[in-house]
Chain A
Amino acid sequence: MPIRFDHVTYAYPATRGGAQPALVDVDLTVADGEFLGVIGHTGSGKSTLIQHINGLLLPTTGRVTVDGIDLADRTARREVRRRVGLVFQYPEHQLFADTVAEDVAFGPRALGLPAGEIEQLVITALERVGLDFCEVGHRSPFELSGGQMRRVAIAGVLATRPGTLVLDEPMAGLDPVGRGAMRELLRTLHHQGLTVIMVSHDMEDVAALADRVLVLRNGAVFACGTTSDVFSHHAELREIGLGVPRAALFAARLAARGVVLHAHPLTVEALADAIASACTSHREVG
């Protein structure tokens, strides 16, 4: 399900005509099965961008297509909403039903999926986020822990079996354990074949998960490329107020002191491997 942004510019109605648009001439293709990380300073247009993927916002100029379906078409939009699951920031704040099962069933019901299938969809969706239907299905979502509530909300989006999952800062406000678990969850979902687009503040999360990274700046595409490629441009990223993963920074500092690693490590594990292999080859040479 390739997602295409074709020279998309978007200005919020409130600021139309006046200020700088929230998105400026964004051109982007996301291939099937890809994990795309979206980074950028606060206000750079990340949230605005992802709301275009299922037609919650429509481009002021330009075109967005999902699987060749133009989102400007009102009737097609409903089908796209089923194919693209969008998880907003703090999705647990959208929970409303009396029970977890009811809440997860909201999406499939609203999209008119056959009633007979809904329970199975709910069971599967909860399972995919690591929750047990028998254990939590009948409970009120509001008595769960914060991390569990977020999982329920994600299950509510997965319940319609989308092929693409879009998440706006899914780790925001989680403690380190919750963060790790969320990372694991997203990695698993990606391995199950979902296309994942994740907005994040945290370069470590992006480095650990994404295949490709899109960098936004003032609503325009600043850079877009493979994760290791984008994170090798330390100076440019720093200039626009973004960091790079600690491992990449560490490798760069080593290089500045004359120790050149042969890989571009982005995670602590990769860094350890790279240093180990550098030591080994050093020993062999010496």
Chain B
Amino acid sequence: MALGQYHKADSVLHRMDPRFKLVIAVVYMLVIFLANDAAGLVLVLAFLGVAVSLSGVPARLLVSGLRPVLVLVVFTFVVNLVFIRSGEPVVDIGPVSVTTGGLSTALFMATRLLALFVATALLGFTTSSVDLADGMEGLLAPFERFGVPAHELSMILSIALRFIPILTMEKDRIMRAQSARGADFETGNVITRFRAILPVLTPLFMSAFRHAEDLSTAMESRCYHGKEGRTRVKVLRPAARDWYAVAALALLGAALVALRTGAL
């Protein structure tokens, strides 16, 4: 969802080595699940808050990027609130009753989910598709000796990301063109709706093939022939900020483990 909606800016997060960013994002998402009390949750959110404030991504943009998944967060909250029956009852209105256990679980689940989404969105906003692909290639490089085509995979990823907005636009265009001819995408049952997709899908595939052909011609005419002998404009080299980020994450992890085991 957030991938491909890069926000151009010059922040610490933008300048970070994408390999580090990717690993840190993934590990952070796992670490979130170590938090099982209020203090842990606060730490998790604080870490994220610092990252957001360092990212140079306007809050408005972040919120609008998260709007589609907010439904899921609210849904999670409500379901947990209503169905978890442990603890003392807090509110009791007719058939709906809320218990302390339900309230805390709901808060936990919703917050964790939100943190997951914010972290993903942040990664997408601060990492261009080129950087993302470079990062992935860098991370996969060690596995090349086992036959993993790291360069090809990352090239595929970056091209795919690049074409998401283009094909989305194309889809809108085709849908409008077919609506102008009387196609109806808004009403009808499942079957009629499914049939309505065909006049969109065929032209969309044609256009994807057209783009693919153009792109491969363009790449070949610039002598692209895969990884062999290819040098980079931007060589990935970890800087101090990358190690600071790792240290911060390690601290967070240690604190959460300590909280869990009762050492704090």
Chain A residues at the B interface, C-beta cutoff of 8 Å:
51, 54, 56, 78, 81-82, 85-86, 88, 91, 93-97, 106-108, 110-111, 142, 156-157, 160
Contacts and interface: CB of A to CB of B under 8 A. Distances in A.
Interface string B142-185: 00000000000000000000000000000001101111111110
A81 B199 CA distance: 17
A96 B177 CA distance: 12
Contacts of A54: 180
B49 interface: no
B181 A107 contact: yes
Interface in B187-221: 198-203, 206-207
For the complex, would chain B's binding face be called helix, strand, loop or mixed by DSSP majority?
A: helix
Given A93-B203, A96-B198, A156-B181, 13 more contacts: A81-B180, A81-B181, A85-B180, A88-B173, A93-B207, A94-B199, A96-B200, A96-B202, A97-B202, A107-B181, A107-B182, A110-B182, A111-B182
B260 to A, nearest CB: 44
Given A93-B206, A96-B202, A88 B177 contact: yes
Nearest to B205: A96
A157 B181 contact: yes
B165 to A, nearest CB: 12
> Which among B174, B199, B200 has the highest number of chain A CB atoms within 10 Å?
B199
A56 B203 CA distance: 19
A86 B178 CA distance: 10
A160 B182 contact: yes
Nearest to B176: A56
A262 B180 CA distance: 44
A259 B207 CA distance: 53
Contact of A110 (B173, B183, B206, B207): B183
Contacts of B179: 56, 81
A93 B178 CA distance: 11
B4 to A, nearest CB: 15
B164 to A, nearest CB: 16
A61 B92 CA distance: 47
Contacts of B182: 78, 81-82, 106-108, 110-111, 160
A93 B184 contact: no
A79 B203 CA distance: 26
Contact of B199 (A96, A157, A160): A96
Nearest to B200: A96
A97 B181 CA distance: 14
